[in-house]
Structure 1
Amino acid sequence: MTLHRRNVLAGIGGVASLTTAGCLSGALGESSQETTLWNQFTGSEQDSLETHLETFNEGRDDTMVSENLSDVKKQLKTAIPAGNGPHTFPWAHDRIGKYQSQDFLYDGSDDLELDLEGTFTDNAASAVQWEGGVYGLPYASETVSLMYNPDLVDEPPETLSEMVSIMEDHHDPENSSWGLSCPPKTAYFVSAFLHAFGGRIYDEESRELGIETDEFIRGIELLQDSIWPYVADDTTYNGQMPPFADGNAPFAINGPWQLGSFRDSGVDATVAPLPDVDGGSPTPYTGVQTWYFTAQLNGASEASFDTTLEWAEWYTTDEDVITGNARNHGLIPVHTDHVESDELGDDVPMFAETVDMGTPMPADPRMDTVWTPFENALERVFNDQSEADEAMKSAADEIRSRWE
Structure 2
Amino acid sequence: MRRTRWAAALAGCALLLAGCSSVPTTGVAGLGGGPGEVTIQAGDDEIPALREIAQEYTADTGVNVRFIEREINAQAISNFISQSPTGQAPDIIVSPHDNLGQLAANGVVAPVELGDRGEEFTKNARDAVVYNGVSYGVPYAVESVALVRNNALTTDDPATFDELRAEGHRLMDERGIKYPFTVSQSPDAGDPYHLYPLQTSFGVEVFQRGADGEYSNELAMGGQNGHEFARYLAELGRSGDLRTSMTPDIAKESFISGQSAFHIAGPWELGDIEAAGMDVTVLPVPSAGGKEARPFAGVQAFFVNANAANPVAAQDFATNYLTRSESQTALYKSTGRPPASKVAIDGMQGDPLRSAYAENATKALPMPAIPAMGAVWSFWGTTENGIVNGNGDPIELWDRMIANIEGQIQ
Q: Does 2:359 match 1:366?
A: no
Cα distance in 2 for partners of 1:327, 1:307 equals 22
Q: Which residue of 2 aligns with 1:22?
A: 15
Q: How many residues align?
A: 370
Cα distance in 2 for partners of 1:347, 1:169 equals 26
Q: Does 2:128 match 1:127?
A: yes
Q: Which residue of 2 aligns with 1:101?
A: 105
Aligned partner of 1:322 among 288, 306, 329 = 329
| Structure-2 change in CA distance of 1:37 and 1:342 (3 Å) | closer
Cα distance in 2 for partners of 1:317, 1:284 equals 27
Q: Which residue of 1 aligns with 2:309?
A: 300
Decide which moves more: 80-89 or 140-149. Answer: 80-89
Aligned partner of 2:393 among 373, 379, 387 = 387
Quote the offset at 1:146 in angstroms: 0.5
Q: Does 2:341 match 1:334?
A: yes
Instruction: Report the TM-score when normalising by structure 1.
Output: 0.79
Report if the CA contact (8 A) 1:193-1:223 is conserved: no
Decide which moves more: 217-226 or 359-368. Answer: 217-226
Aligned partner of 1:186 among 169, 173, 191 = 191
Q: Which residue of 2 aligns with 1:165?
A: 166
Cα distance in 2 for partners of 1:268, 1:182 equals 19
Q: Secondary structure of the residue that 2:282 maps to in structure 1?
A: strand
Cα distance in 2 for partners of 1:23, 1:360 equals 31
Q: Secondary structure of the residue that 2:323 maps to in structure 1?
A: helix
Q: Does 2:142 match 1:141?
A: yes
Aligned partner of 2:206 among 201, 205, 209 = 201
Q: Which residue of 2 aligns with 1:56?
A: 53
Report if the CA contact (8 A) 1:137-1:313 is conserved: no
Identity %, equivalent residues: 22
CA deviation profile, 1:210-259 (whole Å, cap 9, x unmatched): 22321022123333435883356633323322111223221111122221
Cα distance in 2 for partners of 1:348, 1:171 equals 29
Q: Write the mapping of 1:71-82 to structure 2, written as runs, cut at 5 A.
A: 71-82=72-83
| Structure-2 change in CA distance of 1:91 and 1:159 (3 Å) | same
CA deviation profile, 1:372-393 (whole Å, cap 9, x unmatched): 2211211221222233222222
Cα distance in 1 for partners of 2:196, 2:66 equals 36
Q: Does 2:402 match 1:403?
A: no
Cα distance in 2 for partners of 1:358, 1:108 equals 23
| Structure-2 change in CA distance of 1:231 and 1:70 (3 Å) | farther
Q: Secondary structure of the residue that 1:57 maps to in structure 2?
A: helix
Q: Does 2:93 match 1:86?
A: no
Task: List gaps (5 residues or longer) in structure 1.
Answer: 1-17
Report if the CA contact (8 A) 2:165-2:181 is conserved: no
Quote the offset at 1:144 in angstroms: 0.9
- The structure 1 segments of at least 4 consecutive aligned residues displaced by more than 6 Å after TM superposition are none
**Aligned-CA RMSD value:** 3.3
For residue 345 of structure 1, what is the amino acid of its counterpart?
D
Q: Which residue of 2 aligns with 1:377?
A: 383
Report if the CA contact (8 A) 1:327-1:345 is conserved: no
Q: Does 2:264 match 1:284?
A: no
Q: Which residue of 2 aligns with 1:264?
A: 275
Quote the offset at 1:64 in angstroms: 3.3
Q: Which residue of 2 aligns with 1:14?
A: none
For residue 372 of structure 1, what is the amino acid of its counterpart?
S
Q: Does 2:38 match 1:35?
A: yes
Cα distance in 2 for partners of 1:219, 1:367 equals 20
Report if the CA contact (8 A) 2:43-2:70 is conserved: yes
Q: Does 2:284 match 1:273?
A: yes
For residue 310 of structure 2, what is the amino acid of its counterpart?
S
Report if the CA contact (8 A) 2:53-2:327 is conserved: no
Q: Secondary structure of the residue that 2:298 maps to in structure 1?
A: strand
Decide which moves more: 286-295 or 64-73. Answer: 64-73
Cα distance in 2 for partners of 1:356, 1:396 equals 29
| Structure-2 change in CA distance of 1:89 and 1:261 (3 Å) | farther
Cα distance in 2 for partners of 1:21, 1:170 equals 55
For residue 102 of structure 2, what is the amino acid of its counterpart?
K
Q: Which residue of 2 aligns with 1:3?
A: none
For residue 194 of structure 1, what is the amino acid of its counterpart?
Q
Cα distance in 2 for partners of 1:324, 1:346 equals 17
Instruction: Report the TM-score when normalising by structure 2.
Output: 0.78
| Structure-2 change in CA distance of 1:366 and 1:254 (3 Å) | same
Report if the CA contact (8 A) 2:180-2:262 is conserved: yes
Q: Which residue of 1 aligns with 2:255?
A: 244
Quote the offset at 1:196 in angstroms: 1.1
Task: List gaps (5 residues or longer) in structure 2.
Answer: 1-10, 25-35, 211-215
